[in-house]
Structure formats: C-alpha cells, structure tokens
Structure 1
Amino acid sequence: MLSYEDALARLLAACEPVRPLDLPLAEAAGLTLAEDLIARLTQPPFPSSAMDGYAVRWADMPGPWRVVGESAAGRGFAGEVGAGETARIFTGAPLPQGADTVIVQEEVRREDDLLTLTGEGPPRVGAHIRVAGKDFSAGERLISAGTRLSPQHLGLAAASGHGSLSIRRPRVAIIATGDELVPPGAVPQTDQIVSSNGVMLAALLRAAGAEVRDLGIFPDDLDAIAKGLSAAGNADLIVTIGGASVGDHDLVQAALKDAGAALDFWKVAIKPGKPLIAGSLGRARVLGLPGNPVSAFVCAVLFALPMLARMAGSTNADPVTTARLLAPLPANGNRRDHLRARLTADGVRAFDAQDSSMLGVLAGANALIIRPEGAPAVEAGTDVPVLALDRVFATP
C-alpha cells in the first residue's frame, strides 16, 4: 500500500501538459494560460487626463488663460495649446499638444472663454496626467504561462489587444458504476440509492478548469463498463467511481485490464479512501475512485485536482495552509487522515462525525485537517496543516 506522497508522485510523473487551444476571452475564465501573454498595445496609448479640468502649460502658471477648445474621451482636441491658452479636458481624454499639466476644475473659475485660478493649483508640472504606457507597453509580458485566468486577467488581456487566448483545458470523462445507483431526481427502489458522486465530481473538476463529460451510470457488468470506457473517447483523464476494490462486484479493474489498460497501483494509505486505481488506457490517464461519496470527493481533491493542474501546466499555489486547532484531536493511526472541518478566522475545528458516507458533514465543511500517519494527539491551540476547500473551489 503506497503512502499519499508516493502515490501522488507517481500519478503526477505520468501526466503531461495537454495540447493548447485558442479560446475567445469570454470562454477562458478559470482556465490555464498556455503561453506568456504579451501586450500588443500600450495602455494608456497617449498621455491622458486623470481628472476633469483644464489642460495648460506649466510655464503659464498662475494664469489667466484663454479657453481655445475641448478634449473629451474619444474626441480629442485637434489644435495646440499655446502661450496663455488652455483647453477644457475630461477624465480619460487625450492631453492636447502643447499642454503639460492639468488644473482640476474645482480650482478655477471660467467666464466665457476666460479662465482664472481660484485655488492653489496643480502642485507640479505634469500633475493629473497619466503618461502613455503608465499601465503597460506593447511588447511587455503581462501574464505568465501556467496562470489560471481570473476575470481581472481577462480584462487585462482585452485591454492589451487580445481577443482570444492560448489555454490548456484537460478533457475528463466520468464513469459511475453500481447496480444500486439511480440518477439524481429518480426515485430509488428499496435496494437502491441516488448517484450523487457524478454531479459532485463533475462540478469539482469543472471548477478546476477541465472540460468534463459525465457519461452516466453503468451497472456492475464487464460488458457495460467496457462500453463506458469506450465512450470516454479522447479524454485526457478517465475517472471511474466505485468498483475500485477487489470484491465480487468490483469489476472496474477487470474491465480496465480487458480494455488493454496498464495499471500502476490500487491502494493508498489514506482516510477516507484506500482503494484507488491508477493507470493508463491508451493516451488517457485513469483514476479509479472509491464509491463512498466522501471518499470519492476527498480522493478527487487529493489526486485528480493535482493531475489536472499538471495537465494544464498550472503554476498556481498549493491550497494547503495552517490553522490553529480549536478542539483537541486524538492520535492518528497508520493511514494519513483528512478530517472534515470548519475553518474560521478563529481557527479550525473537526466535525465529530467523520463517516465516509456522510454528505451532510462534507457539505458543511470548508476545510480538511491533515493528520499524518502515526501523528500523536494534539491539544487545542496547536497549529495543524489544513487544506482549505474554499481555495480549491475558487476561480482565481
């Protein structure tokens, strides 16, 4: 049985970045940039006013001035400001030729075309002017490859002249197995349960920037599971749910072998979750998750998300942090544990119930307290490693 660290290292070593593709800006949020973003434009493209006021020559201070024109955003002044002259100017408008300073409108009085200073005036030459390129210049690297794109990144890309971006978006196929499962919304019979894992994991993996196809539920039958594997098509990662162990009705390993998959390992020393299939089928990586919903979710967070990050070429930070423990914890056993917990500004507290079937507890958790193998008992007030789920879910 592999340790968590060894299992993750082997999974990541087998993953390679997927091919990049071009997507419109509107479709790129939360995805990973495949190559450095270089500015095609300069911003601002010209010296512009940061305030509503009047554009003057510093040499003509303290006035008075004759108003000779107006410069507005998108409609600049075509003339030139000469000695003793000024042009009305608005925020974002181009600075007229000849002017080098802006006086804010609250510090002047205008009577017809005569402008006089009533306040202290601008503090220096160049006051209230945004110079060309103050934000960025053409040819400048703005965003590094491997960055998960936030809405702010998209705004920057648009302003710098890009209408589309080169991104990496891994393709994932999800296959749930089990005779006992019915789809969400269906009424289960007395010996059935609703399949909650597919919709939960699809949402988790989409939030990580993957293109996800949930292929549905397949019964515990080799031929049926084989059809599911075939339907995975061109996926970069095939995620199976359930049937990962070696019981009489756990057929995923056998179906994978029949399909020609190469299996690496299937047990990891963690809680929740121990049966975990790792391997490859053709060019796709395979990750077989346990069927218990909490186990499936935790294993997806621990293994599927780092695999997707590697496939996307992501350089984003690890979501593991530390927090002060609000209640004591007993010594841990021989498997690394991940306690569902609530993280607040005061610290972190594990839920009393930690059964791997309890979705209610999982839904209330926003963190996992990490307990290494053989960890001793810890008292309240101790700093413990915590995987913050809010950081896992968040689009940067």
Structure 2
Amino acid sequence: MKTPPLPLEEAQRRLLALAPSLPVEHRPAAECVGFHLAQPLAARRNQPEAALSAMDGYALRATDLPGPWTVVGESAAGHPFDGTVAPGQAVRISTGAVVPDGADMVLIQEDAARVGDSLRLTGEPPLPRDKHIRPRGMDFALDAPLLPAGQRMGPAQIALAVSAGHHYLAVRRPVKLAVIDCGDELVAPGTPLAPHQIPASNGPMLAALAASCRVVTDRIGPTPDRLDDLIAALDRVRDADVVVTSGGASVGDHDLVRPAIEATGATLDFWRVAIKPGKPLMVAQRGAQVILGLPGNPAAAFVTGYLFLLPLLRAALGAAETLPRVIPARLAQDMPAGGGRTEFLRARWDGASVTLDPLQDSGALSSLARSNALVRREARAPLKPAGTDVPVYLLENGGIA
C-alpha cells in the first residue's frame, strides 16, 4: 500500500530532529549579526556604572530648592566633576555625564537662568526630583540575564552585548550549504537558449533565500538528469552540512534524485508532504549531513524552501525559534474552497488586508515576485468570504519578525 504524504507539521518536526549539531566558535560581537547565541548572555557590568544625567542642566541638592545657587564646576560626558556638591552649590551637567556626589536632582537648563556663576530658578523643578537622573544599573545590573541561548543577534542585540562587556560571543559556525540544480532542460544563466531550455533560476533563488541565515553556499549545476551525473554532484558535496536539490524529486522517468541519493549511501527519512505546491519533497540523511530534495517548479521550490530549508538552517545554527510565524490578515476578496492538501497561496499584504494573486500556477515566478506573503488554506477548507481573517506567512523577513 502506498504511504500517504506526511502532514506539514509532522514533516517539519521530523526534519528538524535531523538538524546537524554544529561546533561552537567565539566571534567578535560586532561580527555576529545574523548568528544565534550558543549560550545565555549575562551582564559583566552595570549599565550605567554611575548615576547619569538624562538632560542638559545643573546638578544640585533638592533640599536647596528654590535656590539660588552658585555654580562651582562642570560635569561633562567622559569628564566628571571631581568634587562634592555642597549646600547652595550647583554643577553644570551635560546629558550622559556622571551626577556628582552630593547632588540628587538635575534642574534642566530651560527652567533656570544663569548670570556668571549665579543660578536661579525660573521654571518648575522636576517631579519627582530625580526625574532626570538615570540611576546606576538602570538598564541592567552586573550578572543580570540579558539574552537567552538561541537568540538571533541583530543590531540592538549586538549593541547590548557590547555594552554588557562582551567582546566575543559564543555562536555556532556558519552552515556549509550545497545547492544543486537538477534538470536536462536547465542551462546556466546568460547562456543562449533553445526553445526546450530554460535558465536555471532555482539555484540562485534558494541561495538568496538561505542568505538570511549564516551560511557558506556552494552552488552546483545545472546537473543533467543522468544518474551518474547526479551521483557525482552529490559525492562532490560530502563535506556540506546541508544539501538542497531542486528538481527530479517526483516519480517521472527522469526524476532520479531519489535513486542518486540512495546510491551515495544516504538513508531516506521521508518523501512527499501533503501541501500544495511542494508535495514531492524528499528528506534523507548521509551521516550527519541532511539532504533536502525540493520540487523543480519554482513556486514549489520557493514554498518548500521557506517551510523546510530555512527552519532546518535555523535549527542547525541553534535558533530558539525555527519555524515561520503566522499572523492574521483580513481577506480583501473571497477565497475559494480548498482541495485535498494544505495550500500556500501567493498574496500581497498591505499591513491590514491580504489580496490573493490571480496566478497560482507552481511554475510561475512573476506572481511569486509580486507577493510578499503566503496565505495558508487548510485542506478541504470551505469558501472564506472577503473580510475573514486568514493565517498569513510574511516572506520579506524570512517569516520571523
């Protein structure tokens, strides 16, 4: 009896369980954008280390209100006042400067008038009195937990790590990714085409999709639909952590990726997933290496790359969150009833509503390029009228905000 296609979530779960475990390396924090922390990050210092002024003005003692005061010095960022504020005294202070000893209030310059060293109150003092003071440890204190293991490092996270006293961060090394285009009809981009030929566009597309993760990509092909050529291509990339092929994963006479994979010593984990587009998806393992066989139709290759390749890469890199997030969006038009598989429809999201593209053929690239979202339609779902909320996957950030 023929094994039925796997449900999407089960297929994703099985694939992620195969994700290779990559070694940890220590990289300069400034070079860690897009990596994921291999261990939790804690503060190595207080931020700020001393109480700082949040405004330009004058540091003084609140008990001396309403003044007047004598200005006895200045505290600037990087140049603190070397002394103690005594009764009746004030210190000129800049934003980010250390609040001098003895002072517990900053009077902003807009509420004061100064003539020479004489200062008087002209406006309202702050309420509470320490309103314009950033206390020691306001942002974080020594040893405070800051970021969990698996956190993706973006600009703000890198700044936090550096501010917390970390020059190097523990992250997984980049994934070694091999991308293989398969098909007799494919020719390298820029090559003159016969009527029966098409440019090999899936390889560049999948490499670009993977570029949102930390990968080192080796592109191979296009590879002809000949068993010996496919075996040679797979043998060439034995040192890759992840191999992704496009084309040749179905059941036609020229779909030879499965026998080629098996001939190189890989073990098939599963084949076929109950989604559209993308049913003929194949997952195999060769030692620690994971081989992901995607369909050849470009929209199907993109959707399966989005739903399977990106989560696999994230898992290998140690990401805490691997699967794309779903958001609700309002249908701008009726969505017809679904078929027997879960479908992912190309669409355009404008921040509130989502419009389905009229061209949903799995061989069409123009609708894919017009789209910034995929609408999920469950198997055998009834017609959904305009105005109904539907689950949507955003494409432009890899599906993870």
The TM tier, using the shorter chain, reads: over 0.9
| Structural mapping, 1:78-97, within 5 Å | 78-97=82-101
Q: Of 236, 242, 249, which residue of structure 1 is paired with 2:241?
A: 236
1:19 and 2:11 equivalent? no
Residue of structure 2 equivalent to 1:146? 150
Contact 1:325 1:380 in 2 (8 A): yes
Residue of structure 2 equivalent to 1:65? 69
What is the CA deviation profile of residues 295-328 of structure 1, one whole-angstrom value per residue up to 9, with x for unaligned ones?
1001111211222232233233742222222222
1:323 and 2:329 equivalent? yes
Distance in 1 of aligned mates of 2:129 and 2:8: 62
Distance in 1 of aligned mates of 2:189 and 2:180: 15
Distance in 2 of aligned mates of 1:123 and 1:375: 59
Distance in 1 of aligned mates of 2:143 and 2:217: 35
Cα displacement (A) at 1:194: 0.7
Residue of structure 1 equivalent to 2:357? 351
Identity of aligned residues (%): 47
Cα displacement (A) at 1:277: 1.2
Residue of structure 2 equivalent to 1:77? 81
Please, which moves more after superposition, 40-49 or 322-331? 322-331
| Structural mapping, 1:20-169, within 5 Å | 20-168=24-172, 169=174
The letter of the residue matching 1:95 is V
Cα displacement (A) at 1:5: 2.9
What is the CA deviation profile of residues 37-76 of structure 1, one whole-angstrom value per residue up to 9, with x for unaligned ones?
1111211111111111111112222222222111110111
Q: Which runs of 5+ in 1 are unaligned?
A: none
Contact 1:319 1:392 in 2 (8 A): no
Change (3 A) 1:332 1:124: closer
What is the CA deviation profile of residues 258-286 of structure 1, one whole-angstrom value per residue up to 9, with x for unaligned ones?
11000122222221122111110121111
Contact 2:393 2:399 in 1 (8 A): no
Secondary structure at the residue paired with 2:344? strand
What is the CA deviation profile of residues 111-161 of structure 1, one whole-angstrom value per residue up to 9, with x for unaligned ones?
222222222233343241111110111211111111222211111111111
For the aligned residue pairs, the C-alpha RMSD in angstroms reads 2.0
Q: Of 1, 7, 25, which residue of structure 1 is paired with 2:11?
A: 7
Cα displacement (A) at 1:164: 2.5
The letter of the residue matching 2:386 is A
Distance in 2 of aligned mates of 1:175 and 1:76: 61
In the superposition, the TM-score normalised over structure 2's length comes to 0.92
Q: Of 240, 250, 253, which residue of structure 2 is paired with 1:248?
A: 253
Residue of structure 1 equivalent to 2:305? 300
Q: Of 254, 268, 273, which residue of structure 1 is paired with 2:278?
A: 273
Q: Which runs of 5+ in 2 are unaligned?
A: none
What is the CA deviation profile of residues 80-138 of structure 1, one whole-angstrom value per residue up to 9, with x for unaligned ones?
21122221111101111221111111222222222222222333432411111101112
Secondary structure at the residue paired with 2:243? strand
Residue of structure 2 equivalent to 1:386? 392
Cα displacement (A) at 1:240: 0.9
Residue of structure 1 equivalent to 2:341? 335
Change (3 A) 1:141 1:346: closer
Cα displacement (A) at 1:333: 2.0
Contact 1:178 1:242 in 2 (8 A): yes
Count of residues in correspondence between the two structures: 395
Secondary structure at the residue paired with 1:202? helix
Contact 2:325 2:399 in 1 (8 A): no
What is the CA deviation profile of residues 167-193 of structure 1, one whole-angstrom value per residue up to 9, with x for unaligned ones?
234332111112222223333233321
Secondary structure at the residue paired with 1:81? coil
Contact 1:12 1:306 in 2 (8 A): yes
Distance in 2 of aligned mates of 1:5 and 1:94: 54
Distance in 2 of aligned mates of 1:123 and 1:377: 59
Secondary structure at the residue paired with 2:161? helix
Contact 2:307 2:324 in 1 (8 A): no
Secondary structure at the residue paired with 1:86? strand
Distance in 2 of aligned mates of 1:87 and 1:264: 72
The letter of the residue matching 1:39 is A
Contact 2:186 2:200 in 1 (8 A): yes
Please, which moves more after superposition, 192-201 or 181-190? 181-190
Cα displacement (A) at 1:348: 1.9
Distance in 1 of aligned mates of 2:128 and 2:196: 81
Distance in 2 of aligned mates of 1:232 and 1:23: 26
The letter of the residue matching 1:327 is Q
Q: Of 303, 308, 317, which residue of structure 2 is paired with 1:312?
A: 317
Distance in 1 of aligned mates of 2:129 and 2:334: 63
Contact 1:319 1:391 in 2 (8 A): no
Change (3 A) 1:159 1:265: same
Distance in 2 of aligned mates of 1:126 and 1:354: 61
